[in-house]
Structure 1
Amino acid sequence: MKMRHSVAAVAAASAMLLAACGGSSDDTAGGSVDSLKFYNDKAAWKPQFEEVSKVSQDEIGLALEPVGYSEANQYAAFIRSSFRTKEKPDLFTWHTGKELEDLVRQGLVAETTSLWDKAIADGDVPEDLREYFTVDGKQYCVPLQAGYWVMFYNKRIFDQEGITPPSTWAQLEAAAERLKGAGVTPFHQTNVLFTFSWFQTLLTGTDPELYEALSTGEAKYTDPGVVSVMDKWRAMLDKGYFSDPGSKTDPQVMLKNGDVAMINMGTWFNGNLKSVGMEIDKDYGMFVIPNVDPSLATRPMVVEAGPMCTAADATHREEAERYSAWWFTPPAQTAWANARGELSFNPRAEVSDETLASLSDKINKGDYRLMNRYFEAAPVPVLTAALDGFGAFVTKPGDPMPVLKEVQAAADAYWAEQG
């Protein structure tokens, strides 16, 4: 009974928003507008969206009206429903990987190949990022943000223990041993949602080709290379390197309080740390996570590229495409990076934070290989099985094979359906 009531409430809420989908403050039956509704699953980012909106209004005469959701499933249901209405969403957030392919192959998303061609030619976006927005040789959507997964660390603890940011995996493990010996938990972990973070770190840093082959069904989770990585993860767990995965304390609070010394997270985590009063360079720092295998020719860098899309039949498609084109540019990315306290995918953006600017410069000039975040790389049914399996694994470490077999069963079922 409660479930039915909840579904009805979600449906009612979605219906109310669908009635307004695609409209704006100056909407005249699909005519020219000076603002665009931007549907997103990042309700907490509304102040930053509004900050950038002021810049876009001055630059191109178009403002953003963010309409944010904080519940992912409700948001996904709303967006999918919106394509069945008369007014399709002008701008909306989504996911890359299989979820983007699903919308594209239904003809629901506007192509952006020409925008990507120009942005790459202008030096406004790395060529490597294009592949994550490509379906059947064409590009769709533009990158809302490109968060790189790095290691955040508590500077007070590092200074206290005489640890400098490691540049090799051996140095990282030595730092973990020193911290453990001093009674400090080296790394944060969780058994909900971000259960994949250490799997992606260990596998990309050991065998990036195998990591990518898993996402296409060309490799199996039961392959020796994957088992070896899981065994290494288990060894780290057995050594006591990780925090209680069931802790209800927010990770940013744990780093601030010194409950953990390091957190493996996307660069967007800067905002979380600032929200609890931590200052970059004073209270915390970040470093690029070293390769597990030092013989790798390049340094894999996990990137979280969330797209901003336009419906193929958007009510104000022309204005939405103009906004998307502007989003690639240095003024847009400078405003966005500084509003979010984050890196930008645009190497020409002027990031005010020196630490972030230095990290951005290192990534743009270094020999890095961008790897799609596991959350987007894995097909949804496989991801669901993996998140549950990894969560159980860190909660009660043991033989990883039962977990890997369950994930592979989900992968076999998924790829069999793809023909």
Structure 2
Amino acid sequence: MKFFNNMTAASLAAVVSVGAVQAADLKMVVDKQTWMEGIQAMASDAGAASGQTIEAELVTPSDKYQAFIQTSIAGGNTPTFFSWWNGSQLTDLVATGAAADLSAQWDAAIANGDFSSAQRDLVSVDGKPYAFLLNQASWVTFYNMEAFEKAGISGTPTTWAEFLDACEKLKAAGYTPINAPGTEWMPFIWFSQLVAGVDPDAFVGINDGSVAYNGEAVQQAFDMWVEMYDKGYFSDPREKDDQKFFVEGSAAMYLTGDWHTGSFVASGMEPGKQLGTFLTPPVNDDAGLSVIIEAAPVIVSSAALAENPGVGDAVQAMMTADASNTLGSIAGVYNGNLQASTPNAIIEGNMFEIGERQPRGLVRWWEAVPPQIQGDLVAAMGEFMLNPTADQAQDTMTLMNAISADYWANN
């Protein structure tokens, strides 16, 4: 079963200590540490509305969380609700039979005007939805407005040349232009953006095996990545606090999902004063503007739904505008409910800009890449970030291509 191919004995052993999470029937297990208060409030309200008791529990980091869920499914102890990822990872999970078909709940939510068919597609496999949305986010460049003003940058970049010019001005003004953490899963962030900015078709192709990881588009992306490191545009990738340099003001820009807004605000950054966003320009003008879209789905155990119809009622309650508003007001994230309020001005502004400029939407690399090779590819990118030279770039591309080619040759 493909879903379990990327597990190791060590990862199985690592989750034994969190097995107690399986004890209660109605648990919502997640790896979203900064959203926990909002998730618990949403779950509690939805439970009350449906006559259930739902408790949210946290398992981190992401690799331990994935291993825990895989072990739970293999042992027949699947949590009633658990966060996951869409794209290839959702497809593999659905193949286990552990995920419930939520067509009835989605039909009702769409009929009520809460969600669209396009949003349903984000969590569908072979035309059937197997999750509801906890978050729907756009990946944008956050920037420190005060740093831009001090560096003499008027407006936000709309071309790659303007973006690089802003980096130069920020560096001259004493800032590290870009916060770029490289721990855990984060090495793929700038790799993804640069490949998509060179050629969005190639970005799609590396994830379905039709484009090589050492092909022309990826080579161009790595050349730019090396050049940006050479010029001192990126922060130290070894810093484990991913937002530290940005919120303390030493780094002026941060490419991340707009779900991060809430934690920036909680750290003291005020939208419209210190905190702003823009869509990251393409590296090649003829590539066209694109935006990476991230969906955070919540899976429902097929066994739990079959045993307890109230689980379906709880799902319906968590798809309402009230639930979205509860989550958004506390955690600062937006699940895409069309009748809910956007949780903050940043997300509302991003939605407006995307609506105005109509960029091409791309499924995030993390969800699009086959999960069996995800970890090895991220590790290779991380090795480059620790030694961002042209020679290391070649070694990294060669390794990544070998990993990908081997997978697609056998699948």
Q: What TM-score comes out, normalization by structure 2 length?
A: 0.87
- The answer to whether the aligner puts 1:207 opposite 2:199 as a matched pair is yes
Please tell me whether the aligned partners of residues 94 and 307 of structure 1 are also in contact (alpha carbons under 8 angstroms): yes
Distance 1:329 1:169, change over 3 A: farther
1:235-258 deviations in Å (ceiling 9; x for gaps): 22222211222235x242211332
Q: Find the partner of 1:98 among 68, 81, 88.
A: 88
Q: Secondary structure at the match of 1:183?
A: coil
Q: Secondary structure at the match of 1:314?
A: helix
Q: Find the partner of 1:11 among 13, 16, 33.
A: 16
CA deviation after TM superposition for structure 1 residue 48, in Å: 1.1
Please tell me whether the aligned partners of residues 132 and 372 of structure 1 are also in contact (alpha carbons under 8 angstroms): no
Q: How much is the aligned-residue C-alpha RMSD, in angstroms?
A: 2.7
Q: Find the partner of 1:314 among 304, 308, 316.
A: 304
Distance 1:329 1:295, change over 3 A: farther
- The answer to whether the aligner puts 1:237 opposite 2:229 as a matched pair is yes
Distance 1:10 1:106, change over 3 A: closer
Identity percentage of aligned residues: 30
Gaps of at least 5 residues in structure 2 are 1-8
Corresponding residue for residue 371 of structure 1: 362
Q: Secondary structure at the match of 2:114?
A: coil
CA deviation after TM superposition for structure 1 residue 7, in Å: 7.0
Amino acid at match of 1:175: A
Please tell me whether the aligned partners of residues 304 and 372 of structure 1 are also in contact (alpha carbons under 8 angstroms): yes
Corresponding residue for residue 189 of structure 1: 180
1:39-59 deviations in Å (ceiling 9; x for gaps): 222344331123223543565
Alpha-carbon distance between aligned partners in 1 of 2:283 and 2:259, rounded to the nearest angstrom: 24
CA deviation after TM superposition for structure 1 residue 72, in Å: 3.0
1:151-181 deviations in Å (ceiling 9; x for gaps): 1111221121232222222221111111122
Alpha-carbon distance between aligned partners in 2 of 1:6 and 1:171, rounded to the nearest angstrom: 44
CA deviation after TM superposition for structure 1 residue 309, in Å: 0.6
Please tell me whether the aligned partners of residues 182 and 382 of structure 2 are also in contact (alpha carbons under 8 angstroms): yes
Please tell me whether the aligned partners of residues 381 and 410 of structure 1 are also in contact (alpha carbons under 8 angstroms): no
Alpha-carbon distance between aligned partners in 1 of 2:366 and 2:336, rounded to the nearest angstrom: 19
Moved more, 84-93 or 197-206: 84-93
Please tell me whether the aligned partners of residues 91 and 311 of structure 1 are also in contact (alpha carbons under 8 angstroms): yes
Amino acid at match of 2:135: Q
- The answer to whether the aligner puts 1:48 opposite 2:48 as a matched pair is no
Distance 1:9 1:290, change over 3 A: closer
Corresponding residue for residue 390 of structure 2: 398
Between the two proteins, the alignment pairs up a number of residues equal to 399
Corresponding residue for residue 68 of structure 2: 78
Distance 1:59 1:289, change over 3 A: farther
1:248-304 deviations in Å (ceiling 9; x for gaps): 5x242211332211011111222332342222223222222222233345x321122
CA deviation after TM superposition for structure 1 residue 90, in Å: 1.8
Corresponding residue for residue 217 of structure 1: 209
Corresponding residue for residue 328 of structure 1: 319
Amino acid at match of 1:272: S
Corresponding residue for residue 67 of structure 1: 57
Alpha-carbon distance between aligned partners in 1 of 2:90 and 2:354, rounded to the nearest angstrom: 26
Amino acid at match of 1:156: E
1:288-299 residue pairs with structure 2 within 5 A?
288-296=279-287, 299=289
Please tell me whether the aligned partners of residues 21 and 88 of structure 1 are also in contact (alpha carbons under 8 angstroms): no
CA deviation after TM superposition for structure 1 residue 150, in Å: 1.0
Please tell me whether the aligned partners of residues 47 and 314 of structure 2 are also in contact (alpha carbons under 8 angstroms): no
CA deviation after TM superposition for structure 1 residue 145, in Å: 0.9
Please tell me whether the aligned partners of residues 50 and 310 of structure 2 are also in contact (alpha carbons under 8 angstroms): no
Distance 1:213 1:318, change over 3 A: farther
Gaps of at least 5 residues in structure 1 are 23-35
Amino acid at match of 1:140: Y
Please tell me whether the aligned partners of residues 347 and 360 of structure 1 are also in contact (alpha carbons under 8 angstroms): no
Q: Secondary structure at the match of 2:351?
A: helix
- The answer to whether the aligner puts 1:125 opposite 2:115 as a matched pair is yes
Please tell me whether the aligned partners of residues 21 and 82 of structure 1 are also in contact (alpha carbons under 8 angstroms): no
